[in-house]
Amino acid sequence: MGKISKTVVVALFLAGGLLLSSCSNTPSDEEMKQLNDLKAEVSSLEKQVAEKQREKAALEKQVAEKNGKLQQCQSDQEAVKKGLGK
Amino acid sequence: MKNNHVFSLILFIVVAMLINITPIFAQEEMTKDQWQEQMTSYKAKQADLQAQVTKLNADIEGLKAQSSKLDADLLACEDALYVMLGVTRADVEAFDKELTQMETRVSELQRMSDAELINYKDELAQLDSRIKEMAQSKICLIPRYGDRVKALQDKITALMNSIQKEKTYTVGTWGKDRDCLWNIAKKKDIYANAWMWPKIWQGNRDMIKDPDVIKPKWVLKIPEGNELSKEEKSAANRYYRNKAAAPAEAPKQ
């Protein structure tokens, strides 16, 4: 019976130890704050990227329009030259 | 020996339960490994996003520079074009403004019926004369203006043709069509106003001697306008006075 009690105590310690060791394996508050800050920064960067992509698309459209106008003007110049008989 | 087995079984169950409970707590609170894993993943995302922002900033700066250069090139091109034509930017802008106003007005006139349009005959003549002057401008050598002026000229010509062509009406029978000057004038495609009947009478004096008598198959001219002239009013008054002196039927064929 003494042997059995010993075994039970050892087993309980082992199980308790396992439980406790798993509890102490969690990150500290400071580490959690670090992770949350990082998540917030990533989210802010994602918004920034989306905004910049929109700005870039608008500028690309603007440049394409201006290119079109310039080409039109150059072709107008040719037509006027012809019309004036130069 | 039997007790040993029972204890071993209980021990096994207790240990197994404790081991099973551990992950339940772990699900509520993140483990250090999971924390580390998330930190690594988010740091990689952060680095990737920062690189994207840097590249996008560079692209945007490049596009802004390109846009400014295009503005300058376009301005120079237009200036050279205007010098070739011997006009100023202000001349071209004024030409464009006037042309746009005329296009708007012609669109309004196009929505009118022929009967309404007759009241704007003088305005149409002015528009026609002005567009002909504009067509002579050197600015019309710029294709987009030349094309617009030509298109507007065609529209004005079409409007003028539609009011200049003489409208006629072929008289039907009283039995079938109930045609009399009053009823003809009342028709929507004639004057849409029965009181305009003296206009038809006066416009067809060669045929209509008595406004109460019109004959089937007569082709009546329908004079333009939506008001009676002084002469037409006088003729109508004479008719009504005579009628009052000798009452008879309403004007009919």
**What pLDDT was estimated at residue A12?**
61
Look up the ipTM and state it.
Answer: 0.72
The beta strand positions in chain B, using DSSP E, are: 167-170, 219-222
Residue A3 domain-assigned (yes or no): no
Instruction: Tokens 């920064």: give the residue.
Output: A41
Residue A7 domain-assigned (yes or no): no
Residue B110 domain-assigned (yes or no): yes
Residue A74 domain-assigned (yes or no): yes
Q: pTM of the prediction? A: 0.57
- State the best of B63, B68, B79, B85 to mutate against chain A, taking most chain A CBs within 10 Å: B63
The secondary structure of chain B in percent helix, strand, coil, rounded to multiples of 5, reads 75, 5, 25
CB atoms within 10 A of CB B97: 10
Q: What tokens appear for B152 in the block?
A: 């507007």
Write out chain B residues lying below 8 Å of A18, CB-based: 18-19, 22
pLDDT digits 0-9 by tens, B44-73: 999 999 999 999 999 999 999 999 999 999
* Residue B243 φ then ψ, to 5°: -65, -40
Spatial neighbors of B164 by CB under 8 A, at least 6 apart, are none
Mean pLDDT confidence for B222-238: 88
How far CA B83 is from CA of B93, B95, B139, B238, in Å, comes to 15, 16, 11, 68
> What's the structural domain count of chain B?
2
> What's the structural domain count of chain A?
1
pLDDT digits 0-9 by tens, B99-139: 999 999 999 999 988 778 888 989 999 999 999 999 999 99
B156 in the same domain as B209: no
B153 in the same domain as B133: yes
Closest CA to B157 of B135, B125, B134, B113: B125
Nearest to A15 among B18, B66, B143 (CB): B18
Instruction: Tokens 């081991």: give the residue.
Output: B19
The C-alpha of A33 sits at a distance from chain B's nearest C-alpha, in angstroms, of 11
**What pLDDT was estimated at residue B26?**
43
